[in-house]
Chains A and B, each alone.
Chain A
Amino acid sequence: MIRVVLPYHLRTLARVEGEVTLEVAPPVTQGSVLDALEARFPMLRGTIRDHVTKKRRPMLRFFACEEDLSHEAPDTPLPEAVASGKEPFFIIGAIAGG
Chain B
Amino acid sequence: MSTVRVLVGTRKGAFILSADGKRQKWDVSGPFFAGWEIYHAKGSPVDPKRIYVSQTSGWFGQIIQRSDDGGKTWQTPGSSPEELKGPEGMPKGESNKFVYDTSPETGKPLTTHQFYDGTQQPWVFKRVWHLEPSLTDPDTCYAGVEDAAIFRTTDGGKTWHELAGLRAARGSEWSPGAGGLGLHTILIDPKNHQRMYIAISAAGAFRTDDGGKTWKPINKGLHSLYIPNPTAEIGHCVHRIAMHPSKPDTLFMQKHWDVMRTDDAGENWREVSGNLPTDFGFPIEVHAHEPDTIYVIPIKSDSEHFVADGKLRVARSRTGGNEWELLTNGLPQENCYVNILRDAMSVDQLDKCGIYFGTTGGQVYVSPDNGDNWMPIVSHLPPVLSVEVQTIQ
Q: Residues of A with Cβ closer than 8 Å to B?
A: 7-10, 12-13, 38-39, 41-48, 51-52, 57, 59-60, 93-94, 96-97
Contact = CB atoms under 8 A, between A and B. Distances in A.
Given A9-B57, A51-B97, A46 B92 contact: no
B79 A47 contact: no
Interface of B: 34-36, 57-63, 76, 78-79, 90-97, 99
B61 A46 contact: yes
Given A13-B60, A46-B61, A51-B97, 16 more contacts: A7-B59, A10-B60, A13-B63, A13-B76, A41-B79, A42-B93, A43-B63, A43-B76, A43-B79, A46-B97, A47-B60, A47-B61, A59-B59, A60-B60, A93-B59, A94-B59
A88 B337 CA distance: 48
B79 A42 contact: yes
A93 B97 contact: no
Contact of B99 (A43, A52, A93, A96): A52
A64 to B, nearest CB: 20
Contacts of B95: 43
B36 A51 contact: no
B214 to A, nearest CB: 26
Contacts of A38: 93
Contact of A51 (B57, B78, B90, B99): B99
B63 A45 contact: no
B99 A9 contact: no
B60 A9 contact: yes
A42 B97 contact: no
B118 to A, nearest CB: 25
Contact of A39 (B58, B90, B94): B90
B96 A45 contact: yes
A93 B60 contact: yes
Contacts of B36: 9
Nearest to B78: A42
Contact of A60 (B59, B62, B94): B59
B107 to A, nearest CB: 14
B52 to A, nearest CB: 15
A74 to B, nearest CB: 18
Contacts of A57: 59-61
B91 A42 contact: yes
Nearest to B80: A42
25 contacts: A9-B35, A39-B91, A42-B78, A42-B79, A42-B92, A42-B93, A43-B79, A43-B93, A43-B95, A44-B93, A45-B94, A46-B97, A47-B61, A47-B96, A48-B60, A51-B94, A51-B96, A52-B99, A57-B60, A59-B59, A60-B59, A60-B60, A93-B60, A96-B59, A97-B58
Contact of A59 (B58, B90, B91, B99): B58
A39 B81 CA distance: 9
Nearest to A92: B59
A94 B57 CA distance: 12
A52 B61 CA distance: 13
A41 to B, nearest CB: 8
A32 to B, nearest CB: 14
Contacts of B90: 39, 42
Contacts of B97: 45-46, 51
- What are the 10 A-B residue pairs with the smallest beta carbon separation, nearest first? A42-B93, A45-B93, A47-B60, A43-B76, A43-B79, A42-B91, A42-B79, A59-B59, A93-B59, A51-B97
A13 B78 CA distance: 14
B66 to A, nearest CB: 12
Nearest to B83: A42
A87 B352 CA distance: 63
A30 to B, nearest CB: 17
B34, B57, B61, B95 — most chain A CB neighbours (10 Å):
B61
